[in-house]
Structure 1
């Protein structure tokens, strides 16, 4: 599959969704970054800064597909009694602060003229309005905080790049190692299908969509 999205930077390219996106992007002008291949560490700002310094833009699309549900063997909390401050801090380090630092160091590499997109993976469970089951405190809160960062960044970036689009995306439940313990509770899709869905959602967005939270099918998700 090829795409006309433009010059693309894919961050998290070695993961399940990331690898599928590399395949889906086909012959696109693609630059990739990942922890396993490039040593990129989302919990270390110097690592992110160094990666940004090595890479030349501008990019029409910067797509961040990093994130973690279980970190160091710690699964989602089922109740308040399960909250562990260190485990919650790690959730925020990977799922909130890491993407915020990616925005800090890579958003300046978005094209200044014309349409340009910075998209990062959030999750429907990060929606406060959609939360009717409770639990999963650290992961939910870290993704809700990420959504706020995306919203704020979209306002700031638009001042210099009026056609830029900053997005939080929910890929659906994707059958990857990240979700393998939780498959069966919700319908799932393969990484290949998720990659195609994400690229379509990105391709369909316009500047007036900036700062939005969108599902894999292009529908808006409430905050």
Structure 2
């Protein structure tokens, strides 16, 4: 059985082998995968690292991104058009889109800093965009056999975990995304009994996305983040659908 993260659970109900290995080292020597993967947001730090990791381990990977395909997640026509590139079924669909600072608007430190535009922009990119992708991508999961849809969220989108306040627009948009993932998982389970639909917190990853905001948080390189996230997905089963997990495979409070 692949990897060791959350091994006790994985031995019972692993989705599939994604080829992640302990410590984020070299590619696994396990038999190459036969599944197909679709990565949306593949030109970003995490998206490109996920793509590279999957390709190293034999996955048939299709990528969609703003830089290569002109994807505009805030425009449903653009989402629908770009998704035409993805033909057939995919056992893994991974959404790595998102933004923290939009049009120069930094995360709010206080309620007085909140603006209608910042809220609308954050919702457009971090909730509406992934939601539109879900709408068009979930039908591409096979009805039979294990499959997984995963969307990047953030721990700051957790209402239960919020102890310091601030970052109103970004937090709220991610919280809304979490609700969309949870609701979509309920609907998906009616027709895709073995499918998993989850939100993921990747930790603080050393990318342009987080460069100004890492602060005292320990950062990891995108390649390590990709290993961590794929390891988590390896350990999930149908009972985990609709939940929110961090990069260690631990559940995050809503």
Q: 1:9 aligns with which of 33, 38, 46?
A: 38
Asked if 1:51 corresponds to 2:82, the answer is: yes
TM-score by length of 2: 0.86
In structure 2, distance between residues paired with 1:82 and 1:43: 24
Using the TM superposition, give the Cα deviation of residue 51 of structure 1 relative to its aligned residue in structure 2, in angstroms.
Answer: 1.7
CA distance, structure 1, for counterparts of residue 103 and residue 210 of structure 2: 15
CA contact (8 A) 2:37 2:90 kept: yes
Aligned to 1:122: 153
Residue 212 in 1 paired to residue 243 in 2? Answer: yes
SS of the residue corresponding to residue 92 of structure 1 reads: helix
Question: Matched residues in 2 for 1:53 and 1:95: separation?
Answer: 22
Q: Superposition pairs for residues 54-93 of structure 1, below 5 Å? A: 54-93=85-124
1:187: how far off? 1.2
Structure 2 gap segments, 5+ residues each: 1-26
Maintained 8 Å contact 1:5/1:61: no
Q: CA deviation at 1:184?
A: 2.8
Name the structure 2 match of 1:41: 72
- 8 Å contact from structure 1 (residues 5, 60) kept in 2: no
- Per the TM alignment, residue 5 of structure 1 is displaced from its structure 2 partner at its CA by 7.4
Cα distance in 1, alignment partners of residues 116 and 34 from structure 2:
41
Cα gap change, 1:181 to 1:154, in 2 (>3 Å): same
Alpha-carbon distance, 1:150 to partner: 0.5
> CA contact under 8 A between 1:60 and 1:111: conserved in structure 2?
yes
What is the root-mean-square deviation in Å for CA atoms of aligned residues? 1.1
1:105 is the counterpart of 2:115: no
Residue 22, structure 1, aligned to residue 51, structure 2: yes
Whether the 8 Å CA contact 1:10–1:62 is kept in 2: the answer is yes
The residue number in structure 1 matching 2:19 is: none
Higher relative contact order (CA 8 A, sep 6+): 2
2:34 & 2:48 partners in 1: Cα distance?
17
Gaps of 5+ in 1: none
- Residue of 189, 199, 205 corresponding to 2:220: 189
1:141 maps to which residue?
Answer: 172
DSSP 3-state at the match of 2:196: strand
